[in-house]
Structure 1
Amino acid sequence: MSATFATPRLARRRPRPVRAWWRDAAGLTAWLSLLFVTALWVSGRGVQQLGSPAGFLTSAGRLAGLLSADLLLLQVLLMARVPWVERSYGQDELARRHRLAGFSSIVLMTAHVVLISLGYAATDRWGLIAEVWSLVTTYPGMLLATAGTAALVMVAATSVRAARRRMRYESWHLLHLYAYLGAGLALPHQLWTGADFTASPVATVFWWTAYAAAAGAVLVFRLGRPVWLNARHRLVVERVVREGPGVVSVYLRGRRLDRLPVSAGQFFVWRFFPGPGWTRGKPFSLSAAPGRDQLRITAKDLGPGSRRLAALTPGTRALFEGPYGRLTGTVRKGPKLAMFASGIGITPLRALLAELPYHPGGAVLLYRAGRPDELLFRRELDDLAGRRGVRIHYLVGRRSRDRSSWLPAGYAPAPDDVVLRDLLPDIADRDVYVCGPDAWTAAVIGSARRAGVPAERVHSELFAW
């Protein structure tokens, strides 16, 4: 950021800025691994075996299995919450890539099973069912691999959008952890009977390194890092404050929070111990800039996980994973800001307005709510307006039913981008931060792009799962 910005109110340890090459390096590494796996198949006479029908089926099944295994390991790495990968892509992009890698892996795994079974059956001149039974019951590690495949299929089935909509986040998250079990159960089969895994020293070193990297990332970043941070900072509930209809804030205190590498705009996955459901984590954003010994999260009653916050008592231990998310100042391109919030989406933007440096008038907040009593942090926002010169537009009222708009119905029939340019004539020169419901966020982003905001200056996270 430019040195002409105002000085932040609190010096603290923050996550490292996102470097453009981190994202490129992660993506290139993934593609190179798939290319290398294909090269291993070629070097193992995969092409030469395509001449006969049985050889074609078996060799194509080998390639499908190799690519499926590599994608499975990449999927585990995407789930491992490696900080520099997570900050480079953000949760929304990681979720999309995770689903793409996962479904591609399952499709290739299914093709591997079908093609290998057909190829072996053609070679042995057995029936398909008899061949499958023989493979499962007599080949080393195949029973474990079958159980692992079943676990992965279950994870894939519950990741389909229609299934996710019928599940609570906590239940989906718990089931999703079976992907680790599936990957682990597949390993013995691949190392004992997979010729492509042991055909050469290069192949052996590659696959052992890939599995070690995936397992190490999980152990370090999904287990070790959260345990260390929780032991170091020891967060407990200080008090619970009602902010509005069905909305509460939880104030948490802890030790040496100035050493916690977190920025405004990020979120944690929280568990509160003891109490019902403490094993299932729930993501909540910080709703205030992190302090030296205090954090604040705010949530709306949208289910059992968020509803339980209202019943927390002082002294309850808070266990956390994170911080996660890239809706922070590290993605900022220029000195001027435009922030768009709807409903509970104000929480990360409220924190950003307190933490980020800007000149008076350099930050503008457009905050939409259906009713005046749904405007959260009204007093705090007005204080920021008076103290730091934030310009605030409260957009109160129901949305139009006749069109997809992020504005209240009273602004119709003017196009959204025309209203936006009228409210903010210099919108194209500002970094745009957006947080709110999915459809509303998409409408804001569309308006901002039509109003001339470059894509690299639009920042949002839907916290999709």
Structure 2
Amino acid sequence: MAVGAVARAALWTAVVAHLLVVEYLFIRYGQGKNSLLTVGKFFGLHLAAIMMLQIVLVARLPWLDRRIGMDRLTVWHRWIGFGLVWTLILHFTFIIVGYADLASQPPWDTFLSLAGVTASLLGMVAAVIILVVASISVRYVRRRLPYEAWHGLHLLLYVALGIGLVHQAFEGTTFDSTWATVYWWSVWGLVLAALLAGRVAVPVWRNLYHRFTVAAVVPESDNVVSVHITGQHLDKLPARAGQFFIWRFPGHHGWWRANPFSLSAAPNGRSLRLTAKAVGKGSAGLRNVPVGSRVFVEGPYGAFTTIHQTRPASLLIAGGVGITPIRALLEEPGGPTTVLYRVHTVEEAVLLPELQALAKARGAQLYVLTGRTGAGTPPNVPFAPANLAAAIPDIVQRDVFVCGPPAMTDAVVHSLRALGVPRRQVHAEKFSLA
């Protein structure tokens, strides 16, 4: 079984096992004072279970990340988040209606009465924070906010988490059993430990140990620059070709500005290299990063590596600056390899001389595909199923690694499925934070 499939099976088996225990505990100890409150407690219990899963998905645990990929974990986190919001609304509604029925008073009066109880008030505050953050995470709103602003507001969820935990501790009525209470808080302890380890302890320790520093800044073209990073004991950094880091340049951009850039060269134990195109403020300013300045690095992250390769032969497809992880992968030894590099013009082909030298050294085939998509007669559609099959006759027998603009990546993946390339042989990753 592929390593990604093993990781997914392990994660979801743990989730299902936990939910089965939760269901048992609820059936045994979760009865409320009336049927409405019982339903409200049911949703409250599962709201907490969903929050546990949400934390694990974004804890950036190395074992999960390099087997599943941050992009996929983040997508799961986003979609499960919608379920969390609806579960929260249902929990709140049934609790208010349940207590209103119990006290024979209008729901609004019940709401005001509960707001005067510390445990209930804490739950309400946590709920408001979650709903506010959920509203700014709707795609229409999210696309209109700078990443830094969205991320800063999103961090309020940790405040909601802390308040929610105190709310649960004060309530203390769900489980009338010592061992059930011990189990519940033990799981919470493990989840919080995973979060602190992945998001705080590991990054801080690695930066203190490796002491990353800018060694050189090399312009590759008018709008592309490479930054070389050195440090201590880099041979012990568990990075692989195809992975990416989250880079911060505190003395240049400030701590709040973080950018995910993949390695544009395979890690060699002595230095790291990122290559970026000037798109936003962060990447555009890299050309001016002072040599010798300190760098705060998080990672390595990503499942876009050869540990997922299932066949000896491979096809590497890149579009634009998406060539950076592909160029790194080309350094790794392997079987027959073909590289398709999609750019509008040859002049836009970043790192082309390096690619040509690497391809020659490895005996790999390199094709630069130019021109605008759809132009000409017949239309220029290099990644159409028929064209891919003609260029790579044995494509079904290869692992395919794809990195480029989302539209190109989607088109390639669609064509690969049309050609019958098994899903386990298709590797595509989006390098982004949200």
Say whether the fold is shared (TM-score over 0.5). Answer: yes
Aligned to 2:425: 457
- Structure 1 residue 413: Cα displacement: 7.4
**Structure 1 contact 72–101 (Cα < 8 Å) conserved:** no
Aligned to 2:82: 103
Map Cα deviations across residues 147-180 of structure 1 (whole Å, 9 max, x no partner). Answer: 2222222222222222222223333333322222
Tell me how large the CA RMSD over aligned residues is. Answer: 1.9
- Structure 1 residue 415: Cα displacement: 8.2
Say yes or no: does 1:420 pair with 2:394: no
Of the three residues 32, 49, 55, the one matched with 2:17 is 32
Measured in 1, the distance between the counterparts of 2:222 and 2:104 equals 70
Say yes or no: does 1:73 pair with 2:49: no
**Range moving further from structure 2, 228-237 or 164-173:** 164-173
Say yes or no: does 1:164 pair with 2:142: yes
Aligned to 1:173: 151
Aligned to 1:7: none
Map Cα deviations across residues 214-257 of structure 1 (whole Å, 9 max, x no partner). Answer: 21112211111011100111111111111124211111111111
Aligned to 1:113: 92
**Range moving further from structure 2, 147-156 or 209-218:** 147-156
AA partner of residue 280 (structure 1) = R
TM-score by length of 2: 0.95
Counting aligned pairs with the same residue, the percent is 40
Aligned to 1:222: 199
Of the three residues 349, 354, 358, the one matched with 1:375 is 349
- Structure 1 residue 301: Cα displacement: 1.5
- Structure 1 residue 19: Cα displacement: 6.4
**Structure 1 contact 19–88 (Cα < 8 Å) conserved:** yes
C-alpha change, 1:195 and 1:111, in structure 2 (3 Å) is: same
Measured in 1, the distance between the counterparts of 2:42 and 2:286 equals 49
Of the three residues 291, 316, 329, the one matched with 1:314 is 291
Measured in 1, the distance between the counterparts of 2:408 and 2:377 equals 13
Aligned to 1:385: 359
Say yes or no: does 1:303 pair with 2:280: yes
Say yes or no: does 1:23 pair with 2:13: no
The count of residues paired between Structure 1 and Structure 2 equals 432
Measured in 1, the distance between the counterparts of 2:262 and 2:54 equals 25
AA partner of residue 190 (structure 1) = Q
Aligned to 1:358: 334
Aligned to 2:305: 328
**Structure 1 contact 343–436 (Cα < 8 Å) conserved:** yes
Measured in 1, the distance between the counterparts of 2:58 and 2:45 equals 20
| Secondary structure of residue in 2 paired with 1:287 | coil
Measured in 2, the distance between the counterparts of 1:173 and 1:413 equals 37
**Structure 1 contact 174–280 (Cα < 8 Å) conserved:** no
Aligned to 2:269: 292
**Structure 2 contact 253–282 (Cα < 8 Å) conserved:** no
Aligned to 1:186: 164
AA partner of residue 241 (structure 2) = A
Say yes or no: does 1:266 pair with 2:240: no
**Structure 1 contact 170–282 (Cα < 8 Å) conserved:** no
Say yes or no: does 1:143 pair with 2:129: no
- Structure 1 residue 85: Cα displacement: 1.6
C-alpha change, 1:137 and 1:280, in structure 2 (3 Å) is: farther
**Structure 1 contact 247–301 (Cα < 8 Å) conserved:** yes
- Structure 1 residue 397: Cα displacement: 0.9
TM-score by length of 1: 0.89
Any unmatched runs of 5+ in structure 1?
1-16, 402-407
C-alpha change, 1:455 and 1:77, in structure 2 (3 Å) is: same
Aligned to 1:154: 132
C-alpha change, 1:91 and 1:415, in structure 2 (3 Å) is: closer
AA partner of residue 152 (structure 1) = I
Any unmatched runs of 5+ in structure 2?
none
Map Cα deviations across residues 86-138 of structure 1 (whole Å, 9 max, x no partner). Answer: 22321222112111222211211111111100110111012211111111222
**Structure 1 contact 164–172 (Cα < 8 Å) conserved:** yes
